[in-house]
Structures are given as C-alpha cells and as structure tokens.
Amino acid sequence: MIITENCKIQSVKPNDIEDVYSLYCNEDVRAFLGGIPDKSYIYASFDSMLKAPYPNSYFCISLKNKNEFIGLVSIDAYHEKSSYELSYQFLPQYWGKGYAFEVLLAVIRYGFDSLNLSKIVAETQTANIASCRVLEKLGMQKIMVLERFGHEQAVYQLLKTT
C-alpha cells in the first residue's frame, strides 16, 4: 500500500470489481479511452490485472479519510514491451482536485524505487489537454506524437535520476 497526503493506493483485489466496473462504464472517464467497452472486455481486463506478472502493478485509489474509491492507476508493459507505462483513470467528481498529480507522483516513485525502472512512459490523446498538463507537471517530456486507436496520441517519458 502507498499512502499519500489524501489517498490510499492499494493493489487491485478481487472484491474491487464493482468499483473498476463503474470506472470503465463512465462515459466521461472513457471519452479519451476508446469509449465504454463491453462487459466481457471489462471482466477480462480486470482478470488480467489480478493475474499480471511482476513488475506489472495495478492499483485502486481511494480517499484516505473516507475509504471512497476514486480511480485506478497502473504501471505495466508498454506497447513495444521494452518500457513500462503509467496509466490512470479517475472518476470525474475527483478531477481538478490535485489527486491525479499526488497519486501519479507516488506511483512514479514506486516504479523507480521499488520496481527499479529506469524510465516510465505515458500515452494520452493529444486532445486530452488535462491529462497532458498533469504529465508535464510531473516532469514528463513529450517524446513523440503518433496515431494509435484512431486518434493522435502524445507519448511522454520520464527518466530516473540518481
């Protein structure tokens, strides 16, 4: 478990399925993530999270004082399999409150310190301005723009400093 000022970040567990399902079914959350997937895809994705091989890491995020689910964050193998990607989804009522920056900073530290990664990447649609801003605020540098999933994507990178 990772604790930040406002949040608890805990490994995904089987009883988290309802929270993760609600996140995947939220139109606002999924606006830049290809839309709401079908039920079988959500359950298969959740099962993959539970069975992901190390160092892939999937976490549910909750408010520390309320134990209220607010989102999902992960570090897992990137598309080309030679680096690891930081991914995240937060329920809309928690957007713009600083939780994403706080949680992602802690998970990046976890990736560098506990998983011993030397680089972390993140990919988001260029149209997702808020996500691009968070990644830049974290110190990530845009290294390329590409077309994937039918949309222009920005790929960001952060290198571990010693």
In this prediction, residue 14 carries a pLDDT of 97
Over the stretch 121-131, which tens digit does the pLDDT of each residue have?
A: 999 999 899 99
Mean pLDDT of all residues in 103-119:
97
Q: Give 37's DSSP letter.
A: P
In this prediction, residue 68 carries a pLDDT of 94
Q: How far apart are CA 40 and CA 46, in angstroms?
A: 10
Over the stretch 50-77, which tens digit does the pLDDT of each residue have?
A: 999 989 999 999 999 998 999 999 999 9
Judge contact between 111 and 75, C-beta under 8 A. Answer: yes
**What is the model's pTM?**
0.92
Q: How far apart are CA 10 and CA 13, in angstroms?
A: 8
Whole-Å CA distances, 34 to 10, 31, 137, 149, 151: 26, 7, 25, 7, 9
Over the stretch 32-45, which tens digit does the pLDDT of each residue have?
A: 777 789 999 999 99
Whole-Å CA distances, 86 to 13, 39, 78: 19, 24, 9
Burial bucket for residue 121 (CB in 10 Å: 0-12, 13-18, 19+): buried
15 has pLDDT over 90: yes
